[in-house]
Amino acid sequence: MKGLLYIVSTPIGNLEDITLRALRILKEVDFIAAEDTRHSLKLLNHYGISKPMISYWKEKEQVRSDEIIKKLLSGRSVALISDAGTPGISDPGAVLIRKAIEEHVQIIPVPGPSAFVSALSLSGLPTDEFSFLGFLPAGKTQRQKNLTELYLERRTLIFYEAPHRIVETLADMEMIFTGRNAAVAKEITKMHEEILRGTIPEIIAALNQSTVAGEYVIVVEGNKAEGRHTIDEVLPEVFSLMRKGLGRKEAVRRVSDIYGLSKKELYNRSLNDEIA
């Protein structure tokens, strides 16, 4: 009989945020698969949990996943945890989960804290629809390209960012998402938790006056354009995307898809208006 794989969410900062169910599962499983055993030991020691552990961090994930699958196929139960939050969500774990699915191993979620959901809940921005994008590319060119591709997205946008790139990334966002409101959450649930709200330039100014350190979540207002259905009304969107580096064809495709307009007509009008 195959073992069970538990996807166990762990605290993102405050150790008190772990659920009673998560503690029970961690005490009952045969093995704990941890992103970094040294980091996870702090949590386990805090609650007096002692179990055999196996790490699956970064480049070890592929090889260690095979080892963990063997344990599951032999009938052992395994709890998968990351350093913080939910495994596989901007954290390692997805490789093991896919392999477990392929081997028809039963997977049981044990939900808990999530940094991006917490940040969204206190951002003050629309929460009915949102897109979680995780970490943007480290390189400026690719990062700006990704942001440009999100320019027309109407849903609230959520990102993770490292402290050494937070100001640079926000500057790119201001260039692409000019005039939008945003929120930046720092060190959620930890001692130095802080939330900054306002326009992106206001948030950058506040960060420049404080110590930039820790983990950040960025929440940005989506494109608020509503009710634009004529060619004349959406042409500025095409030109705006082109100024941000997108080719005419791609800019026209995206805008026409959003507003349900003829690509050919919008393309020709963009040429004529630009010439005029």
CA distances from 25 to 48, 67, 120, 175, 249 (A): 13, 21, 28, 47, 53
pLDDT confidence band for 262 (50 / 70 / 90): confident
**Would you tell me how many other CB atoms lie within 10 Å of the CB of residue 61?**
18
**In this predicted model, what pLDDT tens digit does every residue of 171-210 receive, in sequence order?**
999 988 988 999 999 999 998 899 999 999 999 999 999 8
Answer yes or no: is pLDDT of 275 > 70. Answer: no
CATH (residue range 4-113): 3.40.1010.10
The label of the residue with tokens 């963009």 reads 270
What's the predicted TM-score (pTM) here?
0.81
Question: What's the mean pLDDT in 24-53?
Answer: 96
CB 154 within 8 A of CB 127: no
Question: What is Dmax (Cα atoms) for the chain?
Answer: 74
Q: What is the pLDDT of residue 276?
A: 46
The label of the residue with tokens 């938790």 reads 193
Closest to 35 in 3D by CA, of 71, 85, 107: 85
Answer yes or no: is pLDDT of 225 > 80. Answer: no
Per DSSP, the three-state class of 35 is coil
CB 45 within 8 A of CB 22: no
CB 222 within 8 A of CB 153: yes
pLDDT confidence band for 242 (50 / 70 / 90): confident
Answer yes or no: is pLDDT of 153 > 80. Answer: yes
Distance CA 169, CA 133 (A): 14
**In this predicted model, what pLDDT tens digit does every residue of 65-82 receive, in sequence order?**
999 999 999 999 999 999
Distance CA 193, CA 201 (A): 21
Q: Which residues pair with 157 in a beta bridge?
A: 131, 220
Q: What is the pLDDT of residue 198?
A: 97
CB 30 within 8 A of CB 10: no
Question: What's the mean pLDDT in 55-62?
Answer: 81
Closest to 130 in 3D by CA, of 149, 141, 113, 117: 117
Q: Which amino acid, residue 246?
A: L
Q: Which amino acid, residue 65?
A: S
Q: Which fold has domain 118-220?
A: 3.30.950
Average pLDDT, the chain: 91
pLDDT confidence band for 117 (50 / 70 / 90): very high
